[in-house]
Structure 1
Amino acid sequence: MALRDRLRRLVQRPGSADLAPFEAVVADAGTRAGRARELSDADLTAAAAALRGTKDQGKEELAELCALGREAADRALGERPFDVQLVGALALLSGHVAEMATGEGKTLTGALAAAGYALRGRRVHVMSVNDYLARRDAEWMAPLYALLGVSVGWVGQESTPSERRAAYAADVTYAPVSEVGFDLLRDRLVTDPAERVLPAPEVALVDEADSVLVDEAMVPLVLAGATGLDTAGPGYADLARRLRPGRDYTTDADARNVQLTAAGAREVERDLGGIDLYDPAHLDTLTAVNVALHAEALLHRDVDYIVRDGAVKLISESRGRVALLQRWPDGLQAAVEAKEALESSPGGEILDSVTVQELIGRYPVRCGMTGTALAVAGQLREFYGLEIAVVPPNRPCVRDDRPDRLYATGTDKEVAVAEEIAAAHATGRPVLVGTLDVAASERLARRLRKRGLDPVVLNAKNDAEEAAIIARAGQRGALTVSTQMAGRGTDIRLGDGVAELGGLLVIGTGRYHSSRLDDQLRGRAGRQGDPGASLFLVSLQDDLVTRYAPEESYKGPAAADGTVDDKGARWIVGHAQRVAEGVDLEIHRNTWRYHHLIGLQRAELLAERDKMLAGDLADRAMAEHAPAKHAELVEIAGADAVAAAARQVALFHLDRCWADHLAFLAELREGIHLRSLGRGLDPLVEFNREAVPAGKRLLAQARERTVAAFEKLTATADGVDLDGAGIQRPSATWTYLVHDNPFGSLDERAFKGLVAMFRGKR
């Protein structure tokens, strides 16, 4: 056994941390099990409390923590952690991302690690992808935390400010990553320190770490203020709908961009009363037409979004579910709503924003867990300084992962998918089918119903029922058709007699743009040593191939049933997926560089704001720069009232300057995009050339505005009149996420460059 372990470590997967130190601690914990079992509940809690204050826990303390945690979980939850779960918890306590297979008990592993951090005196935020998982896990693990003497709370979308403060005051807080980000944005605009809800960041433990830290890393979370509605009238949507593809507009080969032809421009100009569309005076009109055309030609219902409850709901590309609270940048969101003849949602003015990557980067200690981390080990190391610890399963995986079955055409593949499903279903074996989008899931369901089958469909239109649907997916005779990640975070347990049938059969109807998504779907079968199988049926007409390897060809003919066995054809599919992954990484890097600059500028402004908020800096500055006015106001209203007024004026203009700066950067970004297309310039370099000097002027501008506004203040014995000086904040604010990639041309360039690079390596 010892020799086998040494050999395993010698050939350990590259990019993963050495588990030997963790395994040694777990072995030591095993020797303490008897003593832990003899403790009363009160003594167990006291023993855990004795670990508090040991921030740098050594092997002895960690072994004690594991022994107490295992015993507490057994008593409180009826679940006794396996050794590998304790290894995973120790990996998290070492600041790693623990890769653990589906069904291996990541929720309990994370709770043990969170308790360990809390007993070191560190506040932990356990971040999940949605409200449901945050509340479920907090309530599920609460008895464990209580027995260890650790307090726990949770935050959801509907939580009130007081509920949020109480939850964040706990040792461990479960919350969706978006809610933590929104609380941060709101805290940045408070005018009284007591209004803040978030404590200083200490430990971020991220569930589904690859999804949060990679797939959604550059999603900006936005705080907006009311300024009216977006103006994207239905007229532009009607105009775009009348334009004909090919004649009036063209799209590029990978459907990332759309542009009017000369004939299309003339058609638009006639429709709009004979204007010159490209005259600088009509720039706003040209922009509105282009945005409406983008919405019409490039964004498709039931693929990119659905319409539910009278509103446009974006679909998460990585999960195939509704992207809660997410929207496109305001102009495009309004254009899609106009396209669907829906009322325009509030657009407003962006007051502040932060990306998920910036949010997680605030925490001095970061760790996470997921089933598929090693594939993005490079990104986790590059952007977060995180290493991967690949934790072996408690029982060996016996899932039968069959080779891909490749077809020449999409039609051949669809027929084969239906036949494969019908054959397995006839035996009573449960089948879970993964499709690429909502439309594909519904098209497959219709095909199956024509064959007399009755599938349960899980997609963005009924994602609220996800946990219940997936919980039944392993029952005998179950047939589930799902988009992308089927029930991530929910176990699929096999029903009676299903193991004898071979377990759950997972069928993929095409390769995703990321091999991680393939692995996540495949991992729904074979949990904890259960039998199971996976099979992907792929077509050379799939979007992955036509988009990322459009010029590649193969030699071998297709068989009578449409299958293709040519090695070159199989290479094309793998090549297309590698190109897609490379494009995503390059977009991530470029988007990070763009947001990194904004983050640096924001940090400088926030440092100034914190000084204003917490002390008398603003009052002293006004006494220095507007001494006569300051003395006049003090004489009338008193020193305290004037100091409070100076603080409010200074905070208002800092926030006002930042909102103006964000609007300037958004406008600059759009202009840089067009300029770089025409001149072949690097958009990031051009952006920085103008954004950096503008950022350096921010604080000086805010101070000048503050002094000018302070000079206009009037006062009575009752206080200082702020409204009269225009110090009025938005009447309403709201939060959302933006589905946004800056510099479309940069993405395009990266895409084409990577295609060429990979083709050259063939």
Structure 2
Amino acid sequence: MLAREGDTVALAGWVEFLRRWVVRPPGSAVDLRPLWAEARGTGTPRAELCAIARETAWQTLGLRPYDEQLVGALALIDGRVVQMATGEGKTLTAAIAAAELSKGGPVHVLTVNDYLARRDVEWMWPFYERLGVTVGWVTEASTPQERRVAYGRDVTYVSVNEAGFDFLRDGLCTDAADRVQQPLHAVIVDEADSILVDEARVPLVLAGSTGAGADLAPGIAALVRAMIRDEHYTVADENQAVHLTPAGIAFAEQGLGGVHLYQPENLDLLTAVNLALYASALLTRDVDYIVRDGRVELVDGFRGRVARRRRWPDGLQAAVEAKEGLTGSGGGTILATITLQALLGQYRRVAGMTGTALPVGEQLREFYSLEIAVLPPHRPCIRLDAPDRVHETIGQRDAAVVAEVARAHATGRPVLLATPSVADSEALGARLRDAGIPCTVLNARNDAMEAAIVAEAGLPGAVTVSTQMTGRGVDIRLGGSDQADHARVAALGGLYVIGVGRHDSSRVDDQVRGRAGRQGDPGGSVFFVSKEDELLLRYGLRPAADAQRLAEQVDLEVHRNTWRYHYLLEQHRTTIAAYREEILTTDRALEVMARFHPVDPRLAAVTRQLLLFHLDQAWADHLSGMAELREGIHLRSLANLDPLDEFHRAAIPLFRQLIPAAEQRAADAFAALDPAAPDPVLDRPSATWTYVVDDTPFDAGLEQFFSGVRNLLRSGWSSTVGR
């Protein structure tokens, strides 16, 4: 929300206070640490805290925070999501807020990737050091000891996934000293709309090695590969659902040896066929995923780049791997899982920053009780945003794009093109080269060079083709990263952003436009749209803005629906975590064992390890059971039952048995110990790994699939499937 009138009056006083500070050149030897420490310790008004931070940034970084940045820092301290345009200085704003928030406990600054976590620490390090605030960072390559040291600092920069994986690993430690994180206090989320909304429903998974069972995917993939669209299956609901026809059901049953797919004992087969069909008909290579180094790697639909270590739920992942003829990667046993939304709920204080918060204000309030503070740019935006240029066909659209790029390139004006997918970026790059226009193609295939390439996209004559959100978080400065040719590029009109097709989310398009016009620089943007674009076809060739609104509403419903399933599991996880912490830090294990057998208090460590082992094993079994229940729960809609109600009806009684069963198994194992050698041999997983599960297909597609099957049955096809 915009600042209220009362807020404006209150802010005026401290802004004036800040302006009265004596301006000193960068690097002047003024030690502000004692003043900062005193201010933090005595509840000094925020005006003075911000004034000290402003002076420190000037001395150490040569940056004097704008009033807008200081207002943003105060909004973060107040626990709001701050909307600041691209290039307005979110990194320094977050550093000021993090330094102040750290007086109450450790602060995590969550980024979207490892590169940004390390870059921001290295950049802001002198600022923190001058204030006496310790800072560290964590990346995927960090060792446990390095993580422990980094999390022990006042402020820690870490990608959201790594923070989540460390939280899960800490939750399975058998010795409190092995944990790497401190109790979660405050968090500032960078790119908040992406993390808090787009990825909030995505579960993080900690898995362990296990023996693999029979793999149905390869054989069923071959069966589905032989099916013919519109004869054996139909695609419906704006390409979100696929339905077997009566002929398809008969074809599948014959190919599987004459089985009846809809008998309860064939649930695994029916699920495998549905997954293979979904993978074949609705997931597209180089759009939804790429194949690289013999592996299926998912493409993040909002960033247009590889989503590192992300998987679909194991059944769908296996189906896609089989579709591509790859060796199955296996899923192992899920030892622990948590959604990003639930992870962020573990922090006592949450705040965030993004350039596009207002469009998701409803979700931020609904899921996090967060309000928005919208900050004006320091300098007015003078970017020229042209209306969409609409063409009949994709071919005409792309030809027009090439002509527009050629016109701008001939003047030396830098151009950034944003495409919907990896395949589109490569095809457009080839078309530009064929037209004699040199360009750099940046997409999920070469994301390691992403930041360096994007940073130079403002050079004179540069033509950069990317997927929509590639390079988010990296500034594009006119004239290159050193701005040597700033005046020349500005005179040409600044960076010219061309969007090729509209994204499902208007926020992504706004972020694309926002790459130009940074900090009052000139710039321009335009979107080329065709009536054959997937977004328009999916929603019936309506205007792009209307189609986007529909797509965003669908996405919101998917978020709500996914959270309804995960909310119950999160309640279960919280209960287990609290009980586990009690076992780990008290004599609860002795008390439990004593209810079954006499216990020597000297065996407290043994009882603790036994109870932890059986509790963890029971929890892993529960997660496995919930995953299997979730995969098949949509079949209940065939009987006119609500899948969510049925999920709860099955899951709650199972969980009530979990802790008593784990205690009984631990007590039995304790009774069976050899008194001469009481140390138990516990078969914990020999290896663990982490990954992210893309949960969306099951909610957006398969539930509609089973709804469609139910409708087919009602319309008279029951004679075919109900023999």
TM-score (norm. length: structure 2): 0.92
Q: SS where residue 528 of structure 2 aligns?
A: strand
Is the Cα contact below 8 Å between 2:113 and 2:159 reproduced in 1?
yes
Where does residue 184 of structure 1 map in the other structure? 167
**TM-aligned CA distance change 1:746 to 1:17, over 3 Å:** farther
> What is the aligned counterpart of 2:182 among 180, 199, 210?
199
Select which of 623, 628, 653 maps to 2:594.
623
Aligned mates of 2:226, 2:514 — CA distance in 1: 46
Q: Does 1:147 align with 2:138?
A: no
Answer yes or no: is the 8 Å Cα contact 1:99–1:369 preserved in 2: yes
Matching residue of 1:455: 439
User: For residues 379-420 of structure 1, what are the alpha-carbon distances to aligned partners after superposition, in whole Å with 9 as ceiling and x for unaligned?
Assistant: 111111111111111111000011112223323222222221
Change (3 A) 1:23 1:211: farther
Task: Tell me the alpha carbon deviations over residues 645-679 of structure 1, each in whole angstroms, 9 at most, x when there is no partner.
Answer: 11111111211221111122222222321111x13
- Tell me, yes or no, if structure 1 residue 320 matches structure 2 residue 280: no
Give the equivalent residue in structure 2 for 1:555: none
Write the letter of the residue equivalent to 2:109: V
**Which amino acid is the alignment partner of residue 238 of structure 2?**
D
- C-alpha separation in 1, matches of 2:264 and 2:564: 31
Of 611, 615, 639, which aligns to 1:654? 615
Match in the other structure for 2:689: 734
Distance between the aligned counterparts of 1:143 and 1:622, measured in 2? 54
User: Which amino acid is the alignment partner of residue 521 of structure 1?
Assistant: V
**Which residue does 1:101 correspond to in 2?**
85
CA contact (8 A) 2:26 2:62 kept: no
Q: Which stretch of the first structure deviates more once superposed, 480-489 or 683-692?
A: 683-692
Query: SS state of the match for residue 51, structure 1?
Result: helix
- Give, in whole Å, the separation in 2 of the partners of 1:519 and 1:38: 36
1:23 deviation in Å?
4.6
Q: Deviations for 1:117-138, whole angstroms, at most 9, x for unmatched residues?
A: 12x2321000001111111111
SS of 1:205's equivalent in the other structure is strand
Q: Which runs of 5+ in 2 are unaligned?
A: 480-484, 709-723
1:344 equivalent among 321, 324, 328:
328
In the alignment, the residues of structure 1 paired with residue 6 and residue 225 of structure 2 have an alpha-carbon distance, to the nearest angstrom, of 55
| Matching residue within 653, 656, 660 for 1:700 | 660
Residue in 2 that maps onto 1:169:
152
More displaced 10-residue stretch of structure 1: 327-336 or 150-159: 327-336
Written as runs of structure 1 = structure 2, the 5 A alignment for 1:223-372 is 223-229=206-212, 231-372=215-356
How far off is 1:13 after superposition? 5.0
For residues 321 and 331 of structure 1, the distance between their equivalents in structure 2, rounded to whole angstroms, comes to 23
> CA offset at residue 83 of structure 1?
1.5
Partner of 2:512: 521
3-state SS in 2 of match to 1:434: strand
Task: List per-residue Cα deviations over 1:49-69 (Å, max 9, x = no partner).
Answer: 212334xx4xx5312222221
Partner of 2:41: 53
Give the alignment partner of residue 720 of structure 1, picking from 657, 672, 678.
Answer: 678
Consecutive unaligned residues of structure 1, counting only runs of 5 or more, are 1-11, 553-568, 753-762
Residue 688 (structure 1) shift: 1.5
Amino acid aligned to 1:734: W
The Cα of 1:429 is off from its aligned counterpart by 0.9
Post-superposition shift, 1:751? Answer: 12
Q: Quickly say closer, same or farther: Cα 1:598–1:200, change in 2 above 3 A.
A: same
TM-score of the superposition, structure 1-length normalised?
Answer: 0.88
Is the partner of 2:335 in helix, strand or coil?
strand
Partner residue, 1:3: none
Partner of 1:382: 366
* Partner residue, 2:121: 138
Question: Residues 673 and 744 of structure 1 are in contact (CA less than 8 Å); yes or no, is this contact kept in structure 2?
Answer: no
**1:644 is the counterpart of 2:605:** yes
Asked whether the equivalents of residues 241 and 701 of structure 2 are also in contact (C-alpha less than 8 Å), the reply is no
Whether the 8 Å CA contact 1:583–1:750 is kept in 2: the answer is no
**Alpha-carbon shift at residue 279 of structure 1 (Å):** 4.1
Kindly indicate whether the alpha-carbon contact (under 8 Å) linking 1:17 and 1:388 is maintained by their aligned counterparts in 2: no
What residue identity is the alignment partner of 1:649? Answer: L
Residue identity matched to 1:24: G
Identify if the C-alpha distance between structure 1 residues 232 and 452 changes in structure 2 by more than 3 Å, giving closer, same or farther.
farther
Residue deviations 1:341-396 (CA, integer Å, cap 9, x gap)? 22221310111100001111111111111111111111111111111111111111
Aligned-partner SS, 1:473: coil
Any idea what SS the aligned residue of 1:290 has? helix
Aligned residue for 1:512, secondary structure, equals: coil
Q: Secondary structure at the match of 1:247?
A: coil
Kindly indicate whether residue 205 of structure 2 is the aligned counterpart of residue 216 of structure 1.
no
Secondary structure of residue in 2 paired with 1:447: helix
Q: Residue 345 of structure 1 aligns to a residue in which SS?
A: coil
Looking at structure 1, the residues matched to 407 and 573 of structure 2 have their Cα atoms a distance apart, in angstroms, of: 59
Amino acid corresponding to residue 651 of structure 1 in structure 2: L
Q: Distance in 2 between matches of 1:683 and 1:269?
A: 25
> Who is 2:547 aligned against?
576
Residues 27, 696 of structure 1: alpha-carbon distance in 2 compared, 3 angstrom cutoff: farther
* TM-aligned CA deviation for residue 626 of structure 1: 1.4
SS in 2 for 1:452: coil
1:611 aligns with 2:579: no
Query: Contact 2:25–2:58 (CA<8 Å) still a contact in 1?
Result: no
Measured after TM superposition, the shift of residue 266 of structure 1 is 3.3
Aligned 8 A contact 1:224 1:734 in 2: yes
Task: Say if 1:33 and 1:67, in contact at 8 Å, map to a contact too.
Answer: no
Partners of 2:575 and 2:452 in 1: how far apart?
47
2:3, 2:374 within 8 Å by CA — same for their partners in 1? Answer: no
Q: Report the AA paired with residue 51 of structure 1.
A: A
Read off the aligned partner of 1:362 and give its amino acid letter.
Q
In structure 1, distance between residues paired with 2:195 and 2:338: 14
Match of 1:684 among 629, 636, 644: 644
Q: Aligned partners of 1:448, 1:101: CA distance in 2, in Å?
A: 31
Q: Secondary structure at the match of 1:736?
A: strand
- Answer yes or no: is the 8 Å Cα contact 1:229–1:344 preserved in 2: no
Q: Are residues 670 and 656 of structure 1, via their aligned partners in 2, closer, same or farther at CA, if it must alter by over 3 Å? A: same
SS at match of 1:714: coil
1:122 corresponds, among 97, 100, 105, to: 105
Amino acid at match of 2:369: G
| 2:678 counterpart letter in structure 1 | V
Which of 408, 424, 439 aligns to 2:392? It is 408
Aligned to 1:398: 382
